[in-house]
């Protein structure tokens, strides 16, 4: 059985224990935990510990500690009251995929956009890609397609291509 909680190592606070990471993250958001708090998965082994945990959960009792093997599975951040959860395993997989396919890194995408002096929203409109996707590319949450990567490289290397895309928008 696996259970989840968020551990804020700055304030030493912990959320109650939940059966899903989502419950733990929502609790951490309500308690205004610090950015970078660890999202912890605990695997419970042994019938006594499991029985006590299940009993308390079924009776809606707040559980603040359980025995088991803890593994940090992500980081919690709460900038400007928005919940962002970075899944460390997924982030590593995305980085590996970028490396294997020689795709631009999130920092390179940010550098290209900032060199053009435009917001994420404006850059996404100019390139013809969804703003949410661009945001996720820049945060490393989503890996861009090869076509999007090529478009980014073209507008970086050939300023006239970027100027042409801007011009076509202004003509509409």
Backbone φ and ψ of 89, nearest 5°: -65, -45
Residue 63: the pLDDT is 47
- Which tens digits make up the pLDDT trace of 108-142? 999 999 999 999 999 999 999 998 899 889 888 88
Task: Answer whether 148's CB lies under 8 Å from 129's CB.
Answer: yes
Q: pLDDT per residue over 22-73, tens digit each?
A: 776 676 666 666 556 666 666 666 555 555 655 555 554 444 445 556 566 6
Residue 94, pLDDT > 80, answer yes
pLDDT score at 167: 94
- Going from N- to C-terminal start, the domains of the chain cover 2-86, 101-171
The mean per-residue pLDDT over the stretch 77-88 comes to 49
Q: For residues 70 and 29, is the Cβ–Cβ distance under 8 A?
A: no
CATH 3.90.1110.10 matches 101-171: no
Decide if pLDDT at 87 tops 70. no
DSSP code string of 36-57: TEEEEEEE--SHHHHHHHHHHH
Position 79 scores a pLDDT of 47
166 closest CA partner among 132, 126, 134: 126
Distance (Å, whole) CA 9 – CA 19 = 21
Quote the pLDDT of residue 90: 75
């Amino acid at each position: 059985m696996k259970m989840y909680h968020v551990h804020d190592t700055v304030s030493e606070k912990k959320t109650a224990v939940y059966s899903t990471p989502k419950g733990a993250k929502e609790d951490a958001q309500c308690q205004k935990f610090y950015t970078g708090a660890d999202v912890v998965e605990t695997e419970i082994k042994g019938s006594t510990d499991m029985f006590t945990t299940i009993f308390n959960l079924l009776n809606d009792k707040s559980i603040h500690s359980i025995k088991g093997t803890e593994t940090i599975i992500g980081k919690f951040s709460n900038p400007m009251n928005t919940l962002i959860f970075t899944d460390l395993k997924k982030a590593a997989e995305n980085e590996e995929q970028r490396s294997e396919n020689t795709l631009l890194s999130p920092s390179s995408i940010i550098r290209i956009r900032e060199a053009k002096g435009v917001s994420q929203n404006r850059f996404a409109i100019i390139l013809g890609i969804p703003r949410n996707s661009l945001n996720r590319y820049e945060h490393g949450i989503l890996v861009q397609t090869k076509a999007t990567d090529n478009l980014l490289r073209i507008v970086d290397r050939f300023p006239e291509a970027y100027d042409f895309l801007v011009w076509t928008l202004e003509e509409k």
